[in-house]
Structures are given as C-alpha cells and as structure tokens.
A and B are shown apart, each in its own frame.
Chain A
Amino acid sequence: MSESADTAIRPGRERLDRVAGGLGGLGGAGRGPLLVTLALVVAVALVLTIAYGLHDVAQRGVNGLVSGSYFALGAVGLTLVYGTLRLVNFAHGDLLTFGAYMAFLANVTWGLPIVVAVLFSVVVTAALGVLSERVMWRPMRGRGAGLLQLMLMTLGLAFVIRYGIQMIWGTLPRRLDVDVTASVSFLGLRIGRTELIVVVVGFVTLLSVGLMLRVTSLGRQMRALADDMALAEVTGIDTDRVIVATWIFAAGLAGLAGVLYTAAIGTMTPNLGFFLLLSLFAAVILGGIGNAYGALAGGLLLGLAQEWSTLVIDARWKVAVGFAILILVLIVRPQGLFGRGERTA
C-alpha cells in the first residue's frame, strides 16, 4: 500500500525501492503490519495492566525491552548476511561469542578500558567476518555451491570458532571488568546501568543501520545486491566491495552484540552465542527475513512476549511462549511481520 505512495512521491527511485524494499526497511511491506502489531501490543499491555497493575506490567516491559534489544542487536547481522548473500549463517552466534572473548582479551587480560575493548572486539570480529568471506564464501560462490553445502559450512565454522575458544580459554565462565549490579530507577522502574547502555546503543545502532541502507549509496547498492546479484553486477556495482562491506557490518555488529550482551548479563562461556542463536533466528524470521527494522521489531516482540508472560504463567515456560508467538505470527503472515510476500507478477 505504501508502495503506491512511494511511487507517487518519488517516481525516480521507484524501481530500486520496489525491488530492494525488503532489506531497506518498511518499504516492501508498508505500514499496515506495523500498525496492527503496535495495536496488538498495546491491547495486550492494557489487558495485563488491568489484571496485574501498571507497575508490574511496566517493569516487565522494561525487562522485555532489555532482552529484546539483546535479540535485535544480535539478529541484525544475521539478517544482513541472509538478505544480501542468501547465506543462512549458523556461525553468527559464535561470532557473538568471539566478540565477547576478544573484549575479554583486551579488557581483562590486557587491562584496557571497556570502551577500547568494545572497539577492539568490533574490529577483530569484523576482520574475522571478512576473512571467512575471502577464504570460504567467495570461493564457494564462485563454484556455485548449493544452499545446503553453504549452510553446513556455516555450521562447521560455528563449531571451529566455539571449540577454538574453548581450547584457549576453557569452559569456565568469565566476566568483563564491568559493574553489572548498578541500576538506575525512574518513575519507580529499575533497569541495570549496563542494560540501559545496551538498550540505547542497540536502538541507535539498529536505526543507523536502517538509515544507512535507505539513504547512503552503499546501502542502495546492498539492497540492489539483495534483490538480484547478477543484475546488480551488470549495472556496474562493484559487488565484491559491497559484499565485503556487508561482512564488515554484519560481523562487526555481531562482535558488538556479543560484548554488550556479556557486559549486561555478567558472565560468558563458549556456549553464549550458540544458546542465543535460536532466539536470533526467531527475531529475524518474526520481523521478516532480510529486514533490518524487522530484526529490531522481531527482537523486541520476542523479549516483550517472554517477559510479560511471566506475569501470567510460571517463568520457566517463558521461552516456549516466545516461540509460540513466532509460530502464530508465521501462520498469519508466513513472510514475517515486515517481509515481502511472494510476488507472482
């Protein structure tokens, strides 16, 4: 529906936006699903407030926002790589783990301040992403490897990273030099200080990525690639450069997510990313595969659903609630909340 609006306002960009709307944001799906989702969330919040009181619902909402931004921040790289390269990257969770351990190396082993450690970990994880592209994915694409082979290779890479980390740091839990117990309160709601930082950084990062995809020339090229790599190449886009840029963003964001996640929850083990991976996939699929804003919305929805459910049912079942909602949404909208439907035209 908004497509017609786009066409009317900016006819010049119409084609690119239409074909690549998925990666860019809400262009492909329009604002209908967003409004419906928002309305549903507000309705659920109202019902819960009547039943359990405003304070509890708001506090659980804040908690949901926190875990939602963990999911969203981790998911955006996953969705970028899938959107651009059609690669289902099972190693993405372990890129998060890798990022967390790089920060541990810089922050605890070398004693650098946490901010420097975060930058270091983002850079090194991005480098690992680019390395995997050069060593594995580009040659494989060149040989026309099938989806299954690529998927199995990402699974293999996941194990190599995870056990490599175990080999060096062992399986004992580690922590960063961060105060995880400090908290701030406003209007009677409490949120951990590092959690607040994660939420803010998460939102800012995701909105910037969305904007970058929409307005910058690199973003438009990425979207063009996402739609049809061969066609993009023909139109003169340096696909190799764009793909490397995609990996820098995806892996760098994974590293960032890994550090922030660890800083907020307090401890890390080599299984950190692996246990998170399923939730990341859920956020991606819920929001619409290949959609950066979708990952944000999907992550938040998953977090809110899980935390609000603890008001109604036993907390140990909250994971099941999150995934039940995923199934429900997919039954109604198989392409995810903001994904594009299959086109027949």
Chain B
Amino acid sequence: MYAAARTRRLLAVGAGALVLGLAGCGSDDDDGGGGGTTTTGGGGAAQAPADTSFELTIGDLVPLTGDLSPFGPPGRKSADLAISQIEEAVREAGVDTTVSIEHRDTESSPQSAVQAARQMISGGAACLAGPWASSETLAVAESVASRQRTPIISPSSTDAAITDLDDDGFVWRTAPSDNLQSRALADTVERELGGTDFTLSLAARNDAYGQGFIEKFRTAWEEKGGRTTGPVLYDPEQPSYNSEAAEIVAGNPDAYVIIDFFETYGKMGASLVRTGEFDAGRLFTADGLASDRIPDTIPLRALAGARGTRPGAPESGATVEEFARIYRAAGGAPRQTFDAQHFDATMLCYLGALAAGSADGAEIAEQLQAVSGPPGRRFTFLELADGIRAIAAGEEVDFDGVTGPIDFDDNGDPTAATYEVYRYGADGVLRVERQFEASAAER
C-alpha cells in the first residue's frame, strides 16, 4: 500500500511538471489579459484563448462514514456523474483536457477531512469538491485550503461563519449560508403557524452547524416579534438526553425548532418521546434531518409529522429534469439533499481550471467567481460543450448550476437559493410541500 501511494505521488509529480511546462508557454498572454486578481469577471473582458491541454485531478471529499454517512454515497455518485458529463463534453468540444477524480472519505470528522484533503493535494488534486459538514469545511479552510493554495467548493456547508472566513478566496460553496436558511425557516414557521405570536422552544446539537443555525434563527424569529425559550444546546456524544428533553418540552411551547443530525437525533428523539409531552407535529427542523424517509434508527414518533426546510434545486426546468434523469439512469444511491449542489461544485472545479487554462489551484480559485456569474454568456450543463468552447475561445461565461444561478459573491457564497419546505408523513416518508426562492439581497 505504501509503495502504491508513493508511485501515485511520483506520477503526480510527473504530471505536475508537464502541466507547469505547458502552462509556462501560455502564461505571458494570460497575465496580460486576466489581470490576475480575484475581482469580478468584469476586468477580464479580453481574455486570451485558454490553454486547454492540461491534466486536472479533482479531489472529492465525501462523508462516506460517520454522522453524515447518508449523504456520502449520493455525493460520490453526483461527482462521478459530473465527471462523465465533463468527459463527454470535452470530447465533443475538441479540447485536450484530461479530467480525473479521486474520492476520499472524510468520516464526517474535521480531523479526517483535513488529513484526506492533504493526502489528495499531495496526490495532485488541484481543486476539491467538498467537504460536507461545516465543521469539516472550517477545519480544511483553516489548515489546508489557503495554505496549500487549493480551492475547496463545499456543496453542503451552510454555517454562516464560512462567509466571513479570511480565506484568500480559496473557500467556496454551492450551498447557501445558514444566514439565508435560518431566515427561510423563520419565514416558513411564520407561514405554517399563521403568525408570529407564538413561543418556540429552541434546541440544537452543540457544534458549528447546530449552534450557528439556532442563534441565527432566534434572531430572525425575535425580529419578527416572536418569543423563544432556550436554546438547549446538547453535546452530541452523550448517552442520554432525558434532562435536555425535559427542558425542551417544559412550559408547553407552541412549537419546537430542533437543529440536529440523524445520529444524535436517534437518542434525542427517543428521550423527547419518553417525556410524554412531545408532539412531532409541532416540530420544525432543517436540512440536517431531511432524508427520503425517516431512518429506522429514529423512533417514528420523534419525527413523523415534522416540517422543515432544506436547500433544494428548482423544481422544474430542463436542467433539473435532465439531472434527475441521468441520476436515475446511473443506478445506485437514491437522491439525497445536496446531491445537485455537489454536482455543481465538481462542475465548477473543472470550469475554473479551464478558464485558468491550468491545473494550478491558485489560478483555478481566481476564475471561480467569473465563471459562476455574470457578465458573460449563460450556459448550463446541458450546453456544456458550447460553454467549454466559449471558455477555450477566451469568451466570458456565466455557468448556471442545477441548483440555480449560483453567481458566487465576493465571499464565495451563492447569492440566491431555492428552499424546499418538506414534511414527514405518518408513514415516515418525506414529501416536499412547496418551494420558494430566498435571496441574499433581501436582507
């Protein structure tokens, strides 16, 4: 195993040298046209034709095990689908890019994610799609991304803290910030309850996602004039949550808002039901507890009837339907929240590299904002070959993802997002009740 890893590294070094040599030929022109800074695409109007003959390795950081393991296999499959779409379009467009992808398990843990990211970068990956958990993304951002000058594009890290990271433009995400989702959830609760004259009991797992989300939610709800109790924040590794559950149901609140992942909620949900006062029909939650159906580790009565929001893809439109079709046709893992976001993230890794004309992390990072948003010719993955030709010809483009227009802002966040309001039926199956657009511009 050790020998194999070393061989790979040697190969990667060889490939890297090749890329450097080729990039060297075109770099003079690039510097002249592109300006070389992170500022918007506006400055790069007269881009020289991009060099398309490079070998790009995209690193796919997915949580195949641990808390987020339900998201791992669908994520890996989405990344593979993106790569096969790219390969097809690359052939059609007649450019000589070679793209490959390497998957690595982050174990839903920040330490493992950092280790996986380092291994992939030393193995030659120039752009990372992932990681997924906000805690993982924060860790990789701090200790890998800007230090090793490799961009990461997370499909699912919604923690608001990621917006304000001092990351030199190396941290991006296709998932909208919890700033956006917590306000979207507050709007949803208001609409579902028919007003804000209610007391909500708040609770969350004590980590970056749970705590960040619930605090933002509390602010949003209180700004609307509503009342809250809590939040009860609980350590995810505890054996029992009876006392915490008692605090959550105390005082018979009008509704509960609990932000958690499935692994912890199995224990918390059982404790809540045991209080004898819990009614899942009054529970509101978010993307962390959204899945096609309630897993069998969660007591049905802890979640059946609960409502929540999750980032979604626009419901209709050719892009969405085509993505659903190829996803189904590929077999394997079923649809899961953030699968389309991960598809878009992988796609953007390649488009950034193509616009940069190189497989150098720093150069890819400089192009991500420009290819994701206006100005330029809009295209989706359905017209990927046309888009590639346009980029190769040095034109400006605006890639629209399956999940929406993306249009990265200066912090690397998407500027608008679609949210779904879902509800678990008595049979434990998730049904999407409606969709709405939330935009960062509203605030």
Binding site for B on A (CB under 8 A): 56, 59-60, 62-63, 66-67, 70, 166, 170-175, 180-183, 185, 190-192, 195, 261, 264-267, 269, 275-276, 307, 310, 314-316, 318-319
B247 touches A315 (CB 8 A): yes
* Additional 14 contacts, C-beta under 8 A, given A56-B246, A318-B243: A62-B242, A63-B240, A63-B242, A170-B65, A171-B69, A173-B295, A174-B297, A192-B270, A265-B240, A267-B267, A307-B243, A310-B244, A316-B233, A319-B238
B71: interface (CB < 8 Å): no
Residues of chain B from 272 to 298 with CB closer than 8 A to chain A in the complex:
273-276, 295-297
- Nearest-neighbor residue (CB-CB) of A307 within chain B: B243
Contacts of A70 in B (CB 8 A): 239-240
B66 touches A316 (CB 8 A): no
Q: Which of B229-282 contact A (CB under 8 A)?
A: 232-235, 237-240, 242-244, 246-247, 262-263, 266-267, 269-270, 273-276
Task: Report the Cα distance A173→B206, complex, angstroms.
Answer: 20
A312–B235 alpha-carbon span in the complex (Å): 17
Task: Give, as a whole number of angstroms, the nearest-CB distance from A244 to chain B.
Answer: 31
Q: Which residues of B contact A (CB under 8 A)?
A: 65-66, 69, 107, 206, 232-235, 237-240, 242-244, 246-247, 262-263, 266-267, 269-270, 273-276, 295-297, 299, 301-302
User: Would you give the shortest CB distance from B301 to chain A, in whole angstroms?
Assistant: 6
Residue of A56, A185, A190, A315 with highest tally of chain B CB at under 10 A: A315
Given the interface contacts A266-B270, A269-B263, does A171 sit within 8 Å of B66 by beta carbon?
Answer: yes
Cross-chain contact B244 with A173 (CB below 8 angstroms): no
Nearest chain A residue, comparing its CB with the CB of B206: A316
9 contacts between A and B (CB under 8 A): A60-B243, A60-B246, A171-B65, A171-B66, A175-B266, A266-B270, A307-B242, A315-B232, A318-B238
Q: Which residues of B contact A264 (CB under 8 A)?
A: 240
| Residues on A with beta carbons closer than 8 Å to the beta carbon of B206 | 316
Q: How far is the CA of A156 from the CA of B240 in the complex (A)?
A: 28
Closest to A264 in B: B240
Inter-subunit contact B267/A266 (CB<8 Å): yes
CB distance from A97 to the nearest CB of B (A): 13
Known: A171-B66, A266-B297, A275-B237. Is A310-B243 also a contact (CB below 8 A)?
Answer: yes
| A101 and B267 alpha carbons, distance in the complex (Å) | 17
Q: Tell me which residues across on chain A come within 8 A of B232, comparing CB atoms.
A: 315
Check if B301 sits within 8 Å of A181, measured CB to CB. yes
List of B residues within 8 angstroms of A59 by Cβ: 243, 246
Closest to B272 in A: A181
Please tell me if the beta carbons of A267 and B297 are within 8 angstroms of each other in the complex. Answer: yes
A48 to B232, CA, bound (A): 20
Chain A residue with minimal CB distance to B240? A67
Q: Is the CB of A310 within 8 A of B247?
A: yes
Bound Cα distance from A182 to B243, whole angstroms: 17
Min distance, Cβ A7 to any Cβ of chain B, angstroms: 42
Contact A267 B263 (CB under 8 A): yes
- Chain A residues with Cβ below 8 Å from B269 are 266
B56, chain A: closest CB distance, angstroms: 31
* Bound form: Cα–Cα A276–B232 in Å: 22
Q: Please, how many angstroms separate the alpha-carbon atoms of A243 and B286 in the complex? A: 53
User: Least Cβ distance of A234 to chain B in Å?
Assistant: 44
CB distance from B228 to the nearest CB of A (A): 15
**Residues on B with beta carbons closer than 8 Å to the beta carbon of A195:** 240, 242, 274
3 closest A-B pairs (Cβ-Cβ)?
A: A181-B273, A171-B65, A63-B242
| Cross-chain contact A315 with B273 (CB below 8 angstroms) | no
In the complex, residue of chain A having the shortest beta-carbon distance to the beta carbon of B66: A171
What residues of B have a CB within 8 angstroms of the CB of A67 in the complex? 239-240
**Structural contact, A183 and B234, CB atoms closer than 8 A:** no
Bound-state Cα–Cα, A248 to B237, Å? 29
> A315, B65: Cβ atoms under 8 Å?
no
Distance (whole angstroms) from the CB of A169 to the closest CB of chain B: 11
Using known A-B contacts A315-B243, A319-B238, determine if residue A173 contacts B65 with beta carbons closer than 8 Å.
no
Q: For residue A185, which residues in chain B have a CB less than 8 angstroms away from its CB? A: 276
Q: How far is the CA of A217 from the CA of B192 in the complex (A)?
A: 69
A293 to B4, CA, bound (A): 54
Q: Which residues from chain B contact A180 at a C-beta distance below 8 Å? A: 270, 274, 299
> What is the distance, in angstroms, from A219's C-beta to the closest C-beta of chain B?
30
How far, in angstroms, from A265 to B239 measured CA to CA in the complex? Answer: 7
User: Smallest CB–CB gap between B278 and chain A, Å?
Assistant: 10
- The residue in chain B whose Cβ has the minimal distance to the Cβ of A279 is B239
Cα separation A70 to B267 with both chains bound (whole Å): 15
- With both beta carbons as reference points, the residue of chain B lying nearest to A274 in the complex is identified as B237
- Could you say which residues of chain A place their CB within 8 Å of the CB of B69? 171-172
